[in-house]
Chain A
Amino acid sequence: MRDVLLKYGNKLKPAIPFAGLILLAVVYLFVTDFHPTPFHLTTIINQVAVMAVLSTGAVFIFALGSFDISLGVAMGVSVCVGILAYNAGAGVVGMLFVCLAVGIGVSLVNSVLSSVFRLPVFIMTMAMLTVLTAVLQILIGGKSSLLVPSGIQAPIKAFDNLWVRLLFVGVYFAICLVLFNYTKIGRRNKLVGGSPIVAAQTGVSIAKQTIITFLISGTGVGLAAFLMLTRAQAVSVDTGASTGMDVMMAIVFGGMPLSGGAHSKIAAGIVGSLSIVLVSQILTMLGVSPGLSQVYKAVLFLAVVFVASLSYREKMLSRAIMF
């Protein structure tokens, strides 16, 4: 009986995050009396777009068995430099390239330094989080926020629509899907996440793989910054401050194993982002205060991690010997 449960349990496991998402969608419909307005849906897509792009890129890092906690603040710096470039006359396309360059640049610094100094990626990004927070404050210049002057906002606002967001998320996700599932990059990421020692003894350069991974993730940071900029046309010292943790939560909600490796899934970013935004929306509509909402999300996160770690322990201990 236990074997049958395990067998079917293992087959069904990949579907659990999707089932959770459907359940959340049903609950969301319930709290909106089954009449969600276009405003509701637009709000959800607006919120999901930025997080989905960041999370999808972060899946590559998670698959390596690591995490970049500075992702959110890197996006904040990218938004800030993008605004400065636009205000200096770079135009919208120029601003997009600046956002991408900053996102990729920060990721390159993270990955190269962690490779050169052989520091764990997570530790490197912790340090980078502090540095980038300071950089953001310096760039904003002692004020609480930096704005695109209202007189020149129109060209940016032209990109502030649902279809642009869906296009950006769709194209980035499609590229990541191909890279993760159908190229050596994704295969090797899972290999390193499974065991860096085995990967190294199978000819994989951990340093090279880390740098490629951060390039992909950095592109996501730049795109997310652009999407955020088109929506808000402003940046504050707090922009992206909690986004790193939100991304981590989203990826775990999306069914990503904590240790990375073979079970990593590229869809975890989008599924998890949708789930976490739906949770936030449901709590808001139920009248839960923002502070308490964070607590509920944290409890839910712990519950998901607990269930995921149970499954991990099962795998570590199971040994259905087959001679």
Chain B
Amino acid sequence: MIVQESGVITGISIAENIALGEINQFGKYGFLRKKQVVDKAREVLATIGVTDIDPSLPAASIDLQDRKIIEIAKVWAKSPELFIVDETTTAVSQRGRSILYDLMKQQSAAGKSVIFISHDIDEVMEVCDRLTVLRDGNIVKSLPRSEFSLDIIKQLMIGRELQGDYYRSDYDGSYPDEVVLSVKDLHGFGLTGVTFDLHKGEILGIGGMSHCGMHPLGKMLFGILQPQNGSVKATDGSQIKDVATAMKRALGYVSKDRDSEALIPLAPIRDNIVSAGIDLIAKGGLFVFPTTEKAFSKKQVDDFQIKCSSDLQFINQLSGGNKQKVVFGKWIGAQSKVMILDCPTRGIDIGVKQAMYQLMYKLKQEGVAIIMISEELAELIGMSDRLLIMKNGKISKEFARSADLSESQIIDYMV
């Protein structure tokens, strides 16, 4: 089974990760024959079509998407009779998706089985022979491939018809002239001279291939990573050099890696929501009272309709969609005026996705500036006022919002 969250141990090598569970077969007289482990890992990676990852490297040295490929290789190496893939495609690049789809086809062709768990209706319709929809822990319905229909599946998933528009319906694309974030000539972490302005009430989409530099860019804008050159300046001209400064200038950051960087899984919803807005509720800058905290948290839980037994429920017991609502609640509760969203709809169901899109539009109308970094072109086209496409650490093209904008027009500037 390939799990939804990270299943790689970062403290050991890529090869050792792939050999996990079968490491004893590489032992001799109590010693591990590392060369054989690496050779075997290289062979396994080659069978899934990956030749550019050196298995002798530490697992920590590769990014999250490549780590997921390592997990795929690890599972595939065991020639499973039943191949279970849990939400994996949301964590991999397009290459990873292709690899996974190909392996699933091979598994099926060999007369073996695959259970593919996903929120992405398009890919489910593309690769599955039969679909079982679950909601609230119950099986709603099973459909054979011949009965697959986008509308029916959406309805089964959320238990009602989607009300209103999925993405925003307007093609206005206008925003005030006021610049709230000014990015000049950023270098470092794969970026080479990224420059742009973000305006009040603007949804600025940033897209590209997974390694184009857009994810480090998001971290740099929020002060998590420090650029080698260049600057990120807030509306008052102050430079964003660290997270504390960014937060003081009302910036918020929704990380792509929700469970490791945005939320504390073994802590209650309340602690997570309050964490970013604690300065707002602290009396005299120091004292925090449980009643204030509870009210602060409850507002976000109610506003976002987070499904939980109470706000003292632990994060690790929530679904991906509800976790993401907590992350949004954390930053909106902190009264962020500039939201940097890195893959904000990763691993969440279609109902929550629509709610997130509607929220983004509402925030835009309230004057909040949003940077949406995403690998999903459809949502970038559907939501952005302006779209920056990145390639090799640079902005390769800028598109204005338009009803005529299509994925095919954009892809040429990505690859």
Interface, chain A (partner B; CB < 8 A): 182-185, 187-188, 190-191, 194-195, 197-203, 205, 259, 261-262, 315-316, 318-323
Apart from A184-B285, A201-B262, list 5 A-B contacts with CB within 8 A.
A187-B288, A191-B271, A201-B253, A319-B316, A323-B307
CA distance A283 to B282 in the complex (A): 47
Q: Are B316 and A195 in contact (CB under 8 A)?
A: no
Q: Are B317 and A320 in contact (CB under 8 A)?
A: yes
Query: Could you list 28 A-B pairs, sorted by A, with CB under 8 Å?
Result: A182-B288, A183-B286, A183-B288, A184-B278, A184-B286, A187-B274, A187-B278, A188-B278, A191-B267, A191-B271, A199-B275, A201-B243, A201-B255, A202-B247, A202-B276, A203-B246, A203-B276, A261-B264, A262-B264, A319-B316, A319-B317, A321-B317, A321-B318, A321-B319, A322-B317, A323-B135, A323-B321, A323-B322
Please tell me if B203 contacts chain A, counting CB pairs below 8 Å.
no
Within the complex, the shortest CB–CB distance from A120 to chain B, in Å, comes to 14
Smallest Cβ-Cβ distance to B246: which chain A residue: A203
**Total interface residues in chain B, CB < 8 Å:** 44
B-side contacts of A259, CB under 8 Å: 266
Q: Are B243 and A203 in contact (CB under 8 A)?
A: yes
Partner pick for A194 among B267, B317, B322, CB 8 A cutoff: B267
Within the complex, the shortest CB–CB distance from B270 to chain A, in Å, comes to 10
B238-268: CB near A (< 8 Å → 1, else 0) gives 0000011011000001010000111110111
CA distance A321 to B313 in the complex (A): 12
Q: Are A184 and B267 in contact (CB under 8 A)?
A: no
Q: How many residue-residue contacts, CB under 8 A, span A and B?
A: 101
CA distance A191 to B264 in the complex (A): 8
CA distance A188 to B267 in the complex (A): 12
CA distance A198 to B275 in the complex (A): 10
CA distance A184 to B318 in the complex (A): 26
Within the complex, the shortest CB–CB distance from B2 to chain A, in Å, comes to 16
Partner pick for B136 among A205, A261, A316, A323, CB 8 A cutoff: A323
A-side contacts of B289, CB under 8 Å: 182
A-side contacts of B246, CB under 8 Å: 203
B-side contacts of A197, CB under 8 Å: 260-261
- Contact residues of B between 298 and 338, Cβ < 8 Å to A: 307-309, 314, 316-319, 321-322, 330
Known: A194-B271, A205-B244. A323 touches B349 (CB 8 A): yes
Q: Are B244 and A191 in contact (CB under 8 A)?
A: no
CA distance A300 to B183 in the complex (A): 58
Q: Are A182 and B287 in contact (CB under 8 A)?
A: yes
- Contact residues of B between 127 and 151, Cβ < 8 Å to A: 135-137
CA distance A316 to B3 in the complex (A): 14
CA distance A183 to B262 in the complex (A): 22
